[in-house]
């Protein structure tokens, strides 16, 4: 079994003080740094949106952050502007050790399409290429940590399980947005998909 660690979206905008702050998002940084030392293969993901991205409420007149809208690919939650390419908010948390990462997988760059998962954009069909990257290295088992448990971590875990990877989510090294019970829904979905919640 060849195992990789995927660190999801440990960026300033998802940490306290950021545009889409997740409570306690920064608290998990030391634990993630320590866990990275136990893995030979570490991948970081980085939410990386162009200005005016369609997932931003500001791109939809009359809409406020955390409302939803119908996109061609389904219902999309609208977020505050966050993780704009090249901005301070899009940078990794300054305490995160990025040197151990072999790959930084950026996502959410298509202006018309959001991308929570590290594997597919939110249309559930446009691949990021990460699956091939992992498989060509013989990796069949993944541990996921990072932000946010109920969005980018959960969508990545569900896609990975569907693709046939063994998946463990270290809940102690994740934090959730928890919008209208989204954390409980995500945990139920992950359990049903065979993801180990550790
Ligand atoms: C995320 C909302 C919007 C995440 C990214 O990393 O969970 N959530 N973009
Ligand atoms: Zn985003």
Residue-wise pLDDT tens digits, 81-127: 999 999 999 999 999 999 999 999 999 999 999 999 999 999 999 99
148 lines ligand 1 (CB under 6 A): yes
Q: Which of 8, 10, 11, 20 to mutate to test the pocket of ligand 1 (most atoms within 8 A of CB)?
A: 20
Determine, yes or no, domain membership for 68.
no
pLDDT at 66 over 90: yes
35 lines ligand 1 (CB under 6 A): no
> What pLDDT score does 1 carry?
81
Q: Quick: pLDDT tens for 128-157.
A: 999 999 999 999 999 999 999 999 999 999
Determine, yes or no, domain membership for 69.
no
Q: How many domains does the chain have?
A: 1
pLDDT at 33 over 90: yes
Interatomic CA distance for residues 80 and 57, integer angstroms: 6
- For residue 53, the SS3 value is coil
The bound ligand whose nearest atom lies closest to the alpha carbon of 22 is 1
Report which protein residue has its CA nearest ligand 1's atom 6: 152
Q: Is the ipTM of this complex over 0.95?
A: yes
- 95 is written with which tokens? 């305490």
> What pLDDT score does 32 carry?
98
- 150 is written with which tokens? 């109920």
Determine, yes or no, domain membership for 43.
yes
> What pLDDT score does 129 carry?
97
Structural domain of residue 31, as residue ranges? 2-50+80-197
| pLDDT, average across residues 66-89 | 97
Ligand 1, atom nearest to 55 Cα? 3
Interatomic CA distance for residues 59 and 94, integer angstroms: 29
Q: 36: which DSSP letter?
A: H
48 lines ligand 1 (CB under 6 A): no
Interatomic CA distance for residues 88 and 77, integer angstroms: 23
Nearest one of 127, 160, 131 to 143, comparing CA atoms: 160
- For residue 74, the SS3 value is strand
Question: What is the CATH number for 21?
Answer: 3.40.50.850
**Model-level pTM greater than 0.95?**
yes
């Amino acid at each position: 079994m060849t195992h990789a660690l995927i660190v999801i979206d440990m960026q300033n905008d998802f940490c306290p003080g950021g545009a889409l702050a997740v409570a306690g998002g920064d608290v998990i940084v030391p634990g993630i740094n320590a866990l990275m030392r136990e893995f030979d293969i570490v991948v970081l993901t980085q939410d990386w949106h162009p200005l005016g991205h369609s997932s931003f409420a500001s791109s939809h007149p009359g809409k406020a952050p955390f409302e939803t809208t119908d996109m061609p690919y389904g219902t999309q939650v609208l977020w505050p502007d966050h993780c704009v390419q090249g901005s301070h908010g899009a940078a990794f948390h300054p305490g995160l050790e990025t040197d151990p990462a072999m790959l930084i997988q950026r996502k959410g760059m298509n202006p018309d399409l959001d991308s929570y998962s590290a594997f597919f954009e939110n249309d559930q069909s446009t691949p990021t290429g990460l699956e091939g990257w992992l498989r060509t290295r013989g990796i069949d088992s993944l541990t996921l940590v990072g932000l946010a448990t109920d969005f980018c971590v959960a969508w990545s875990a569900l896609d990975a399980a569907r693709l046939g990877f063994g998946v463990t989510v270290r809940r102690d090294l994740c934090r959730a947005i928890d919008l209208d019970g989204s954390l409980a829904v995500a945990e139920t979905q992950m359990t049903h998909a065979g993801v180990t919640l550790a």
